[in-house]
Every structure is written in structure tokens, then in C-alpha cells.
Structure 1
Amino acid sequence: MIYRFRAILDHDNEDDIFRDIEIRETDSLEDLHNAITQSFGFDGLEMASFYVSNEDWEQGEEISMFDVSEGHDTIRTMSETLLNTVVNQSQTKLIYVYDFLSMWTFLVELAEIIEEAEGTDYPNLMFVHGQIPDTAPEKTFETENLDDDFNEFGDEMDTDDYEDLDFEENWN
């Protein structure tokens, strides 16, 4: 079977920027990663991850390009994860983040499952809408609940007052 995905750049602009991609259900997430990066004009050399998502586009389990867990936990990698083990008719949404310094973020949704068309090469870029900006859209985060006087250590020490910290001037 063939999965038809729509990958939408997550940004605040009015114009949608997306790509429609067909890919075999038995291809890996690495194959989808390559199809997305090529369709948006990236070189594909930066780190990236997929995240399983729910109906509210909340980020779930990470599936990364490489296992960077250093043996502490097992992590799924794109090359070892087939599309049909992550995405199906009831689980249709993924979040894709490319280049963790720029944070290009895409909402990837399974739109349709169809029969394979004879003579078609997959992955297949079906449709292109909009041009990707030169730089990744800035993310805005809700900060109304953050306390400006947050002290991560939970003590009464004023972290802006360095004179009372008992460091020698040339401690290094």
C-alpha cells in the first residue's frame, strides 16, 4: 500500500507551505525524512527526529536519526522503523523537526492509503505549495505562568549577587 502524507511547515504566517508525498507503507521513517528534506530543499545533513503525535498535535515518543542514548534507554531510530509500525488509519499524525539549531518544525499527516500505481517511482512528490522562508520561523512560547524570580535550586540565595558566594577571585 501507498501512504499519502501532507507535510506542513509549522509557522504563524497566513500562507500555507506544504508538500504532498507518496511513499510505500513498508519504507522507513528515514525514507520519509529524506523525501521531506528534498521536497523542501534542505540538504538533509542536519539532525532530525519524528515524534508520534495525537489529534491535538502533542509531541509523543521520539524516533531519531541516530541512537544517542548511550545505552541507557533503547530509542527507536528512523532507519529501523517502518512507516506502517508508527502510522495507520487510527494513528495519522507525526511531528517532524529538522535541524535542532534552527528548529524547522513540520506537521506530517497521513491523508490517504491507496494502492500502488504501476510504473510510479516512490517516494513520489505529488504537490508543492508555497516557498519555504530563508530562515526557520521563530517559535513563541507561553510565558504567563513563569515566575520571574524562579530559583532553580530552591534556596534563598540571590544568584545575581556574586560577592557572597565565597569564590576566590582567581579560582581557576
Structure 2
Amino acid sequence: MIYRFRVILDNDTEDDIFRDLEIRETDSLEDLHNIITQSFGFDGTEMASFYISNDQWDQGEEISLFDLSEESPARLMNATSINNVVHEMQTKLIYVYDFLSMWTFYVELAEIADESEGSDYPNLMFVQGQVPDTAPEKIFEADADDTYFEEFEDELDVDDYSDLDFDENWN
């Protein structure tokens, strides 16, 4: 079977920027990563991760391009088939590319179709919008609402250690 995905760039502009892709359900998430980076014009050399998501686009389990964890091994894209994490009941993923720029994409399964004879997969079906030169800035709720941290306002000078009860030269 072929999975048809719509991959939408998370941006705050009026223009919709997305790509419609086709890929075999048995291909790996690394294959999906490759077609996403190519279709949006990235070189694919930066770190990236998929996150399993729910209908509210909450970020769940991470599936990473490389294992950088020291404690428990991370789930990896090259060892995870698409149909292992995406199916009719679980249709959404969040994809983050380049952790310094934080390019964020919403990946949604739009359709499951039969494979067309003579077609090559993965396949870029449709392109909408131009990718900006830099990743869209994220506005976090705490930044948007200046009163978020008001309850912590006090006269404490965090650079003045003289009133704190500890020995600076403890070691």
C-alpha cells in the first residue's frame, strides 16, 4: 500500500507551505525524512526527529535520525517502518529538522492507496508555497504573555551570592 502524506511547514505567515508526498507503507521513517528534506530544499545533513502525535498535535514519543542518548537507546528512523507508527488510527507525526533552527512540520496521513504500476516511490505529488530563508520564529505562550512569570517576581539578585548559606570553596 501507498501512504499519501501532507507535510505542512509550521509558520505564522498567511501563505500555506506544504508538500504532498507518496511513499510505501513499508519504507522506513528515514526514507520519509529523506523525501521531506528533498522536497523542501534542505540538504538533509542536519539532525532530525519524528514525534508521534495525537489529534491536538501534542508531541509524543521521539524517533530520531541518530542515537545520541547515553542511557537508554533511542528508537531510530532507519529501523522503524512507517506503518509501524502511522496507520488509520494514528495519522499524525511532528517532524523537526535542524535543532538549531527548529524547522517544524506537521505530517498527516491523508490517504492510503494501492500502488500504481510503473510509478516510482517515494514520489513528490504537489508543491505549495516557497520555503523562507530562515525557520519561522516560534512564539511560546510564556513569551506572548508577559504576566506568566509575575508570581515569581521578587527582589532577589541572582548574581549576589553573599546572602546565600553555602561555602563557595566547598571542593
TM-score by length of 2: 0.88
Name 2:116's counterpart in structure 1: 117
Q: Distance in 2 between matches of 1:77 and 1:159?
A: 41
Please state if 1:19 is matched with 2:19.
yes
Matched residues, number: 163
Name 1:54's counterpart in structure 2: 54
Name 1:94's counterpart in structure 2: 93
Which deviates more from structure 2 when the two are superposed, residues 141-150 or residues 109-118?
A: 141-150
Local SS of the residue matching 2:105: strand
Amino acid at match of 1:129: Q
Q: 1:5 to 1:84 in 2, by over 3 A?
A: same
Please state if 1:37 is matched with 2:70.
no
Q: Distance in 1 between matches of 2:8 and 2:94?
A: 10
**Alpha-carbon deviations, 1:89-139, whole Å to 9, x = none?**
110000000000000000000000000001111000000000000000000
Amino acid at match of 1:39: S
**Alpha-carbon deviations, 1:21-62, whole Å to 9, x = none?**
000000000000000000000000000000000000000000
Q: Distance in 2 between matches of 1:158 and 1:148?
A: 16
Name 1:5's counterpart in structure 2: 5
Q: Distance in 1 between matches of 2:12 and 2:38?
A: 23
Please state if 1:76 is matched with 2:71.
no
Q: Distance in 1 between matches of 2:24 and 2:60?
A: 23
Name 1:141's counterpart in structure 2: 140
User: How far is 1:14 from its partner?
Assistant: 1.1
User: How far is 1:160 from its partner?
Assistant: 2.9
Name 2:129's counterpart in structure 1: 130
Q: Distance in 1 between matches of 2:101 and 2:140?
A: 15
Which deviates more from structure 2 when the two are superposed, residues 88-97 or residues 137-146?
A: 137-146
Local SS of the residue matching 1:146: helix
User: How far is 1:75 from its partner?
Assistant: 1.7
User: How far is 1:158 from its partner?
Assistant: 3.4
**CA-atom RMSD, angstroms?**
2.0
Structure 1 residue ranges without an equivalent (≥5): none
Q: Distance in 1 between matches of 2:133 and 2:168?
A: 46
User: How far is 1:146 from its partner?
Assistant: 3.4
